[in-house]
Amino acid sequence: MLPVVAETWDGFLSNIKAHAVTEGHVFSALDSANAGPPLEGGVGGGTGMVCFEFKCGIGTSSRVIENYTVGVLVQANFGDRDELLVRGVPVGEQISDLLPDLEQPLNESLAEHSPLARKKDGSIIVIVATDAPLLPSQLNRIAKRATVGLARTGSIAHNSSGDLFLAYSTAVPRTDAEGNELWSAIPNSAMDPLFRATADATEEAILNALVAGRTTIGKDYVRVHGIPHERLLSLLKDRK
């Protein structure tokens, strides 16, 4: 019943000391929450996110396997440009321009303190939700499979990156006539489809977060470009 709070560092684009989020923002977000499709890209906590030196943010994806669903939500904020892979295609090496830059030049003293001069890798949060009945130890195994999807996008989990994974099940126990809870769980031998679904959905959620990113100008005129969709599609078509 205790909340879990995670974070990814957005100091590249944002003034992290400004305490810009107020109580009003929090209640507005809660009041406007709905069951519709979630927004992706630079929204909410994804506003200041950068991955593979492109604008990134929030991404989601899901898989249905047999009678169960696996859903993934990511807040992606990691990676160097030359590491980026999309379905195995070395996109980052092919799109080596459009790196973070300054929308307008700064004087020499300010440029020394620009985020461009002290860039570090960020982090990623991956939340995996499923309605499959799983034990805590099995959910721990599911969470670890998010790393497979992360690696498929080219991540090497840099030293300064905090890679945070959480998995949970919405399955509820049955209750017998005496009020006792009756638990059931999928056998370990049947978990491979769940592992694959987790890896696939994690990879896709990261790519969705990347594709949904739009060019953003942050503090000190720092500009992070959105990935160019037409060039990305062209590279993927050439691979086929």
Backbone angles phi, psi at 191, to 5 degrees: -90, -10
Per-residue confidence (pLDDT) for residue 61, from 0 to 100: 98
pLDDT in tens, 204-232: 999 999 999 999 999 888 999 999 999 99
Under the banding of pLDDT at 50, 70 and 90, the label for residue 16 is: confident
- Residue carrying structure tokens 């090497």: 156
CA angle 211, 70, 147 (to 5 degrees): 65
Residue type, 237: K
Count CA atoms within 13 Å of residue 221 on its CB side.
10
CA gap 24, 156 in Å, rounded? 38
pLDDT in tens, 24-53: 999 998 999 888 888 999 998 999 999 999
CA angle 194, 198, 200 (to 5 degrees): 115
Query: What are the residue boundaries of the structural domains of the chain, listed by start?
Result: 40-172+183-239
Lowest-confidence region among 16-20, 78-82, 111-115:
111-115
pLDDT over 90 (residue 20): no
Q: What is the DSSP string of 90-146?
A: -HHHH-----SEESS---HHHHTTSGGGG----EEEEEEEE-S---HHHHHHHHHTH
Find the distance separating the first CA and the last CA of the chain, reported in whole Å: 48
Per-residue confidence (pLDDT) for residue 117, from 0 to 100: 54
Could you give the percent of the chain with pLDDT greater than 90? 68
Question: What value does the mean pLDDT take over residues 123-148?
Answer: 97
Q: Let me know: does 81 contact 158? Beta carbons within 8 Å.
A: no
Give the β-pairing of 54-55 and 174-175. unpaired
How far is CA 235 from each of CA 38, 114, 202, 227, 229, rounded to the nearest angstrom? Answer: 28, 33, 22, 12, 10
Residue 235, classed as helix, strand or coil, is: helix
Beta-carbon neighbour count of residue 230 at 10 Å? 7
Per-residue confidence (pLDDT) for residue 2, from 0 to 100: 84
Q: Let me know: does 202 contact 128? Beta carbons within 8 Å.
A: yes
CA gap 87, 77 in Å, rounded? 19
Under the banding of pLDDT at 50, 70 and 90, the label for residue 82 is: very high
Q: What's the whole-number average pLDDT of the chain?
A: 91
More confident call, 117 vs 170: 170
- The residues annotated with a catalytic role in the active site are 123, 161, 163
Per-residue confidence (pLDDT) for residue 239, from 0 to 100: 74
Residue type, 117: A
pTM over 0.95: no
Q: Which architecture, in CATH terms, is 40-172+183-239?
A: 4-Layer Sandwich (3.60)
